[in-house]
Amino acid sequence: MALKQLSVFLENREGRLEDLFNVFGENNIDIKSFSLAESTEYGVLRLIVSDPDKAKEALRNVDFSASLTDVIAVVLKGGFGSLQEVTDALPADLNIEYMYVLSTEAGHQSIVLKIKDIEKVEKVLIEKGFSLVD
């Protein structure tokens, strides 16, 4: 059920983001959503793409550090106003490492969550009536 997120290490150097998008273009990889976390000297780009395995391989071939990370994508039936329902549903002892928006399409708003113990969280969310994107 977990979604495969592509994570890429990016140095804060001119043109690196462009290089990355070029690789995607050449390999027909579609970006569905992304989030960029940054520190002073580097960033980590997290992406949901059409073909994560192929994207990772293509990036590795041109010497990017890229890896695949399991994340959960949850549909918010009531829109982003209902985010609290998700946090309420999660076990109290599990921290959300990070989250970002997957889709803003009306009626299909959804978010991506990085959290430990994914299987347990998925089970809990499904039990509480949420639907997950896979």
Q: Which residue in 9, 4, 26 sits closest to 63, CA to CA?
A: 9
Give the H/E segment covering residue 60: helix 52-61
Q: Which of 22, 26, 28, 37 binds other proteins (CB under 8 A)?
A: 37
C-beta closer to other proteins: residue 109 or 114: 114
Counting contacts by CB under 8 A, is residue 48 touching other proteins?
A: no
Taking the complex as a whole, the smallest distance from the CB of residue 60 to other proteins amounts, in Å, to 7
Taking the complex as a whole, the smallest distance from the CB of residue 115 to other proteins amounts, in Å, to 12
Please give the DSSP secondary-structure letter assigned to residue 10.
Answer: E
Counting contacts by CB under 8 A, is residue 9 touching other proteins?
A: yes
How would you classify residue 43: left for phi > 0, otherwise alpha for psi between -120 and 50, otherwise beta?
beta
Please give the DSSP secondary-structure letter assigned to residue 80.
Answer: G
Q: Which residue in 83, 104, 131, 82 sits closest to 32, CA to CA?
A: 104
Taking the complex as a whole, the smallest distance from the CB of residue 124 to other proteins amounts, in Å, to 22
Residues binding other proteins (CB under 8 A) = 5, 7, 9-11, 16, 37-39, 41-42, 44, 46, 60, 63-67, 69, 97-98, 114
